[in-house]
A and B are shown apart, each in its own frame.
Chain A
Amino acid sequence: MHLHSPAVEPGTVGPCPVAPDALQGIKRQQTNPARWNGSNWNEFAAALRQQGIELRENAAARAAFATDAGGTAYGLAHGVVIARNTEQVALLLRAAQAYRVPVTVSGGGLTTEGESVAFGGVLLDMTGMSRVLAIDAEAMTVRTEAGIFWHSLAEELRRQDLDYLSAPLNLTSSVGGTLGVGGIDVNSARLGCSADQALALQVVTPTGDIVECSDTHNAELFERVILGYGQFGIITAATLRVRRYTPLRMHYFYYASLATAIEDLQLIDRNEASDYSGILTILDCAVNVLVAFDSLEREAAFMAEWRPRLRGYGEFGFGLRTFAHYILRPWKLGEAWYLLQRKRELFPELRRPEYMRDGTMFDRSVVFSRAVWKFWGSRQMVIPDLATSAGKFVEAVKRGNAVCRKYFPHYTLYLVGIKLRPEHRAHYEMSCVPPDAEGWAYGCEFEPMMDAGVYSRDYLQSFKNEIYDIGVDMGASYYRFGGMMKGYIRRVFGDALVDRHLALKRAADPAMILNRHVIF
């Protein structure tokens, strides 16, 4: 029996010596890396200091980055460097390459699989580079340092009545980190993933060269860095498209069936009937489709043309329907109680009067993001996801939902469409965008409500594996496939593609120092 065995890279597992068909061909990798052994550290540290780079080695500074938002992977860097400018980052990478010291880059630290946790080596804290460099209201672009949080960028843009196109609903993802993985928002069905708004990047390559790149200039590097999971360089600055700021008009429709809700969502997306759209579930039988509009005209057009075709209820109608449902099923009283609690706590949060003026919502990202952190944030967070083509989506979500039901009493599904840009096809290779998607890709995040609970890592990992197995089975992709989930990369993308990227990586990063444990 022959086993295809790629060359052994640092941090990966070579051909399994146990048996050629071990684990039925599933290529397991060391997903909980061994701490880097620290060789050459002192020489490296001295070299950095000689060049005037501040390196913090005290326990408190390192401890602050011991885990990420997922809270299940732990690791300690040997030292922490706060990124201050591009030249400093370039010096750091040059030294790291020479001394073969791993560099782990962290922005908002909002990874859930340990991708921004340093298992030894240097942790580079990109949030030190958080300045907005220039806003061009004529060309509708902004140039910003890439360590900035999306919300901080929004604050600056708003002073000129501008807004970014799309960003993850959590306020504190960094721009660079998001461009490296994708990023979705409730307007992605119309505007694409967050990475699509990048026009040009300043990148420090793993060998320490500072390169400006875009679709027309150093396009190859641009293609690899966008949605590149930090493998091919550190984004230090980005030029992004912006738009005029608009408050928005929000509507919620309620469904008792996930499949119906998804069909209606896809109907809305296909016809660009709304400016924002997405699905949030509360229970399997309480599914919320949200739509929103940038203008009164768009809202009116939707209400006239599309609302009658949707099968969802308004809040009152759904309330009646749900009441009837539970009256007939008294044994499900606990579920009804949960639903009621949820409505009592969550709904007012989404309609806080200080964010509402004359029926329009100001600062939707603030309202939603704060609710996300308040109701879904906890010390441990796992958010496995599936990204599929439109046609496979209903089945993928149903199967994933069944896995959630098995593992957790309460969970939320967050579903959005992502408009694909044909001209960005090259960016999407080996990313969260499934290769078979045309027009739109659809993503579903499965988020258990852990609240103050605590689970063993093994339990959470089993849950994630079961969701991800669906992806392997159906030919989907994932948004979070790095770090602890990287064992799935070869399974979904196949050896040929991964080996090609690995060869590119090896050429770009000879010592394999940059974000070593994330993908390869």
Chain B
Amino acid sequence: MTTRTVDVIVVGASLSAAAAAKRLVDAGLETIVLERKELPRHKICSGILSPRGHRFLLENFGPLPREALHEPTSCRGVTFHFPSMVSLEMDFFGGSTPHLHRKYSDYWAIKRSGAEVHDRTSFVGLEDLGDHVLVHARRQGEPVEYRARQVIGADGPSSLVIRSIYPEYPQSIPWFFVGQKFHDIIDCPLSPDYFHFWFHPGLGHYTWSHARDGRQIVGVGFKRGDNFASKHANVVNYLAEKHGVRLQPHTEDEGCGENFGPSLVNRYVFGKGNVLITGQAAGFLNMIGEGMSCALHSGAICGEAVVEARARNRPVQDMYRRMIASEVRRTTDQWNPLKIAFERPHEADFPAALMALPWRDRGKVLRDMWRFIVLYKEFNWGRQIFRAAMQRPFIGGYSMQRWL
């Protein structure tokens, strides 16, 4: 077995990995990206990128190739639906955003980053030896070893890199299952231009639907342990009954585990020693459940931190945590009730849409939202969110002490 020595190993070949790799390669650092699957690989995702993420892609990787987009190619905004049958249609700030075909968009981005990519290579474990890290992996079953100054874990919510440095971490946070099924459409009054989201405690913790490639996606997220089939059937029935959505039985389905909590309660995990965690693995997720834009930005910051730490001869963890503070503010602000009430932390104008409603409907929306939030009561996030919101104006951000 040979050991390949490089500057940085990035685990995962998603958008955050591409962003990190881009910064590293630009600065002349030899970077290898490890990907478990063969590229291009399938990825479960709504693909609706926020405008900020779109801007990042354009500014860093150039124009998107057509193959990186689904049909419809773009999304105008989000529509919120409430049990009281009030709907709020909100356009994104800055116009439409792409509907990414993650299989090809991720592949395109990682190629554009300029990094060397080793696919079909699964991360097995690592040893941080102070001045370098040994990474063990398997390439098509054969053990391979890499030696790098830093390792970046950009391998998503169920990160193996996190597990190798904090084995107890996955047990310490609540897990959700998010699944989506694809249906041929008989009749669908939901606008294909928008991403639809239901604030309905009876449907699930995260319930959505949107159009893709001539089919309708119906998705639902819930606490791990519940039954996907019955939850999903419940949503389909609800859509049929309340919105007149008529769909064929599903032709495909898929799902994965998700970590919703860290962004809400400022409990991110950024790594240890020479191992950095970024993207959704670190806990970044926007309020509409979109993780791509913060994955791109946190990935880029992770790469910048490695470059800066080397140039300034400073510990990389220290550098990363200082630099990531801006992205933490952006993401956690979206969940901060004070920010939501008095500023506009989101990329669509919820307060304006709300104020455009008749006052009776406003009342209904607020009542429905409260009922929906109560669904999350069991996680005891309320007090933590409150505390984070209160300290935000005083320390100009969110406490770094709560990060792992």
Contact = CB atoms under 8 A, between A and B. Distances in A.
Touch between A and B in complex, CB under 8 Å? yes
A24 interface: yes
B55 A32 contact: no
Nearest to B307: A74
Contacts of B319: 454
A30 B27 contact: no
Contacts, number: 116
Interface stretch (A161-169, A247-255, A455-463): A455-463
A421 B178 CA distance: 66
A74 B26 contact: yes
Interface stretch (B138-146, B168-176, B206-214, B320-328): B320-328
Interface string B136-161: 00000000000000000000000000
A19 B301 CA distance: 28
A63 interface: yes
A109 B307 CA distance: 19
Contacts of A76: 26-28
Contacts of B297: 456, 458
B308 interface: yes
Interface in A1-18: 13-18
Interface in A437-462: 453-459
Contact of A32 (B59, B63, B69, B308): B59
Interface stretch (B93-101, B220-228, B231-239): B93-101
Contacts of B65: 17
A180 interface: no
Interface in A413-470: 453-459
A373 B297 CA distance: 31
A459 B98 contact: no
A24 B92 CA distance: 10
Given A24-B95, A379-B312, A458-B327, A30 B59 contact: yes
A148 B174 CA distance: 62
A401 B54 CA distance: 29
Nearest to B99: A18
B27 A74 contact: yes
Contacts of A14: 63
B80 interface: no
Contact of A23 (B51, B61, B327): B51
Nearest to A14: B63
A61 B27 CA distance: 14
Contacts of A392: none
Contacts of A28: 55, 58-59
A79 interface: no
Interface in A29-87: 29-32, 34-35, 59, 62-63, 66-67, 72-76
Contacts of B94: 23-24, 26
A63 B22 CA distance: 17
Nearest to A76: B28
Contacts of B59: 28-32, 487
B344 interface: no
B28 A454 contact: no
Given A74-B307, A454-B319, A456-B324, A29 B58 contact: yes
Interface in B88-137: 94-98, 112, 114
B97 A62 contact: no
Interface in A453-491: 453-459, 487
Given A455-B323, A457-B304, A18 B54 contact: yes
Contacts of B26: 32, 35, 73-76, 119
B25 interface: yes
Nearest to A460: B326
Interface in B245-281: none
B23 interface: yes
Contacts of A453: 322
A259 to B, nearest CB: 27
A272 interface: no
Contact of B28 (A19, A24, A74): A74
B5 interface: no
Interface in A112-129: 119
A173 B153 CA distance: 41
A21 interface: yes
B95 A74 contact: no
Contacts of A487: 59
Interface residues of B, number: 42
B4 interface: no
B322 A454 contact: yes
B301 A13 contact: no
A33 B308 CA distance: 19
Contacts of A454: 308, 312, 319, 322-323
A35 B23 CA distance: 11
B62 A18 contact: no
Contact of A22 (B25, B97, B324, B326): B97
A113 to B, nearest CB: 12
Given A16-B58, A28-B59, A379-B312, A456 B96 contact: no
A34 B73 contact: no
Contacts of A458: 297, 300-301, 326-327
B97 A456 contact: no
Contacts of B73: 17-19
Given A18-B96, A62-B28, A456-B304, A32 B323 contact: no
B64 interface: yes
Contact of B54 (A15, A22, A30, A67): A22
B63 A19 contact: no
A456 B323 contact: yes
A13 B64 CA distance: 9
Interface in A276-313: none
B116 to A, nearest CB: 13
B28 A23 contact: no
Contacts of A455: 323, 326
B22 A32 contact: yes
B300 A17 contact: no
Nearest to A30: B62
B114 A13 contact: no
Nearest to A459: B326
B66 interface: yes
B16 interface: no
B60 interface: yes
A456 B27 contact: no
A22 B75 CA distance: 10
Contacts of B300: 456-458
Interface in B46-89: 51, 54-55, 58-66, 69, 73-74
Contact of B66 (A17, A34, A66): A17
Contacts of A32: 22, 26, 59-60
Nearest to B193: A19
Given A18-B97, A74-B26, A13 B326 contact: no
Interface string A477-514: 00000000001000000000000000000000000000
A456 B326 contact: yes
A19 B27 contact: no
Interface string B3-35: 000000000000000000011011110000000
24 contacts: A14-B63, A17-B66, A17-B69, A21-B95, A22-B74, A23-B54, A23-B95, A29-B58, A29-B59, A30-B63, A32-B59, A35-B25, A35-B114, A63-B28, A67-B27, A74-B27, A74-B307, A454-B319, A455-B326, A456-B324, A456-B326, A457-B300, A457-B304, A458-B297
Interface of A: 13-19, 21-26, 28-32, 34-35, 59, 62-63, 66-67, 72-76, 119, 379, 453-459, 487
Given A16-B63, A457-B301, 6 more contacts: A17-B66, A21-B96, A34-B112, A76-B27, A454-B308, A458-B326
Interface of B: 22-23, 25-28, 51, 54-55, 58-66, 69, 73-74, 94-98, 112, 114, 297, 300-301, 304, 307-308, 311-312, 319, 322-324, 326-327
Can you list the 8 inter-chain pairs with the closest CB atoms, starting with the nearest? A19-B74, A74-B27, A459-B326, A19-B96, A76-B28, A18-B98, A24-B95, A28-B58
